[in-house]
Amino acid sequence: MEEKELLPHLFRTEYRKLVAVLCYLFGIEHVEVAEDIASDTFLTAAETWAIKGIPENPAAWLYTVAKNRTKNHLKRNSLFEQKVASEIRYSSDKEEEIEIDMSPQNITDSQLAMIFAVCNPLIPADSQVALALNLLCGFGVQEIADAFLLNKEVVYKRIQRAKEKLKEGKISIAQPSAMEIGERLETVLTTIYLLYSEGYYSISQNTTLRKELCAEAMRLNFLLVENELTDRPEASALLSLMCFHSSRFEARTNQNGEMVLYEDQDESLWNRELIERGAYYLSRASTGEKLSRYHLEAGIAYWHTHKEDSQEKWAHILDLYNHLLAIEYSPIAALNRIYAFAKLNGKEAAIAEAEHLNLTNNHFYYSLLGNLYTGINEAQAIAHYQTAIKLAHSESDKAILFRNIARLQDNAG
């Protein structure tokens, strides 16, 4: 990998580790100091490597520089000496040496502790996601703004407010206790789920960014299932769900970046390895007595990795949706259930079911009705698609609706 590609890659993978370890060391009240040291480390790398070339082990080089920067900061800053010195181990060598633990285990422990600190109920959900992207994933403010299609200033304020909330609440960055895991795991999983959804269902046209959002959510989830304390069935279920969804990522868009509907996807583009991993984590999630929304959504996603249009498949999917809506209702889940209902009971029965939902401010509702009326009343189908276009926000959603209308008009012609 060339230098111009290597440094941005290392920034994405190593910056978050440096920040996590330093926050673990300093405490959340000094998060800006941790970020400054990490940023300064990469600035030094850019300057030094341009002159001396890339070191043999770039990541180890970064860790060494970060350690030295941290030691220098601690030695010259009396506030830190008072606050942190008692918590840092010293060697008995002639020259006093501050130890900054950059071992793989401490990096993992630090990131896990950061996840539970960031996903605190004190912080609103949208700010949790923004802060998670920033601190846990190394995304810049502009990148987050691009992902959410928000103004950069809005994202910056969300992150700053979230940091202030953590400082005001004196939230510690420490390995979560069994009680804290029980109390907070649901919030952690919700944040990871929202982070993944922002990538998978994003209205941003930046495909690379969307994939990175999904990959980061899966990485954070993997930290949970690899830790004995946080390896709960619902964590495995969520990772299973993300594996199944990600397996169809390449088939969801065409060469023009336009969305491809499920029934039109090229099955050969599905990632079989991710499907197998999804099945593995779904099997791991089958222990315990709690049935979470992630179990049910993973089950639905599993059946969608089977392209055949069988009654058995749609019966399973409909049953899973019925259970999902019983434990946690959402309009999107209710709409998706109607597709499965139509496959089993026909379009006319599904129209009656759909119209009971009466989600007249939702473009997916009218898109669903357009689909259901196709083959029954083409004029009505077109009218529903046109209403959906007026309500849709993303250009990719509108493009699908325009294609559906064009197809109906061609058939009529």
Supply the DSSP string of 133-153, one letter for each residue. IIIIT---HHHHHHHHT--HH
For the record, the structure tokens of 301 come out as: 């996603």
Helices (H), 248-377: 272-284, 293-303, 311-327, 331-345, 347-357, 363-373
pLDDT confidence bin for 84, thresholds 50/70/90: low
The packing angle between helices 272-284 and 293-303, to 10°, is: 150
Nearest CA among 392, 333, 390, 393 for reference residue 357: 333
Q: Which of the four pLDDT bands, split at 50, 70 and 90, describes residue 254?
A: confident
Q: What is the mean pLDDT of the chain?
A: 88
The gap from C-alpha 392 to its chain's centroid, in whole angstroms, comes to 23
- Res 82: pLDDT: 60
> Given this model, what pLDDT does residue 209 score?
62
SS3 259: strand
**With contact defined as beta carbons under 8 Å apart, do 249 and 196 qualify?**
no
Examine the pLDDT at 315 and tell me if it is beyond 70: yes
pLDDT at residue 90, as a whole number: 41
Is residue 208 very low, low, confident or very high in pLDDT (cuts 50, 70, 90)? low
Closest to 27 in 3D by CA, of 117, 153, 136, 157: 117
Give the residue-averaged pLDDT of 212-241: 94
Eight-state DSSP code of residue 175: P
Rounded CA gap, 221 and 231, in Å? Answer: 10
Contact in structure between 66 and 14 (CB atoms under 8 Å): no
Please write the tens of the pLDDT for every residue from 6-24: 888 898 889 999 999 999 9
Q: Tell me what pLDDT residue 199 has.
A: 82
pLDDT for position 211: 85
Instruction: For tokens 């800053």, name the residue.
Output: 77
Is pLDDT above 80 for 141?
yes
Q: How many angstroms separate the CA atoms of 192 and 218, rounded? A: 8
Q: Two tokens at 314?
A: 């749609």
Helix pair 395-412, 363-373: axis angle to 10 deg: 20
Q: Is 70 exceeded by the pLDDT of residue 36?
A: yes
- Rounded to two decimals, the pTM is 0.86
The span from the CA of 400 to the CA of 395, in Å, is 9
* Distance, CA of 2 to CA of 269 (rounded, Å): 29
Q: DSSP 3-state assignment of 159?
A: helix
Question: What is the Cα gyration radius of the chain?
Answer: 25
pLDDT band at 261; cut points 50, 70, 90: confident
- Per this entry, what is the length of the chain? 413
The better pLDDT of the pair 210, 134 is held by 134
Percent of the chain with pLDDT over 70: 92
Q: Kindly state the tokens that stand for 217.
A: 């959510």
Lowest mean pLDDT among 128-132, 251-255, 288-292, 380-384: 251-255
